Amino acid sequence: MASVEEQILAQVKNNEEGTIFLTEDFAHLANTNALRVALYRLVKRGVLHRLTSGIYVRPKISQLLNEIVLPSLNDIAQAIAKRDRARIIPTGSFAMHALGLSCKKRA
């Protein structure tokens, strides 16, 4: 039987670079402590990049800058909303911008 780390690695490799993973995505593989250790090791090896507690991303390396390209805040929020089965509804100026409208007043 494969170790928890190998099982997580297989799951990560089946997704594109830039994919966001939450700790809950691997909860079916082992208990919390085993997951924590396996994820720590994968971060240390560079297989995953830790964004914050419980949120990881498969690193996407920029060809131009040769650095990790992090996902947008919107992508992270969408991943959390999916986990929590919540809806994100844009309001105010963000909604206007998303619709291509402007907040500028004309003189």
Sheet of strand 49-52: strand arrangement:
20-22, 55-57, 49-52
Q: How confident is the model at residue 94 (pLDDT cuts 50, 70, 90)?
A: confident
Nearest CA among 45, 38, 46 for reference residue 8: 38
Tell me the residue ranges of DSSP E strands in the chain: 20-22, 49-52, 55-57
Say whether pLDDT at 107 is over 60. no
Say whether pLDDT at 106 is over 70. no
Amino acid letter for position 29:
L
* pLDDT digits 0-9 by tens, 48-87: 999 999 999 999 988 898 888 999 998 999 999 999 999 9
Say whether pLDDT at 105 is over 80. no
The pLDDT of residue 104: 64
Chain mean pLDDT for the chain: 90
> CB of 20 within 8 A of CB of 56?
yes
Residues 6+ apart with CB under 8 A from 64: none
Task: Give the residue extent of every domain in the chain.
Answer: 4-98
Residues 6+ apart with CB under 8 A from 95: none
Tell me what percent of the residues of the chain surpass a pLDDT of 70.
93
Say whether pLDDT at 91 is over 90. no
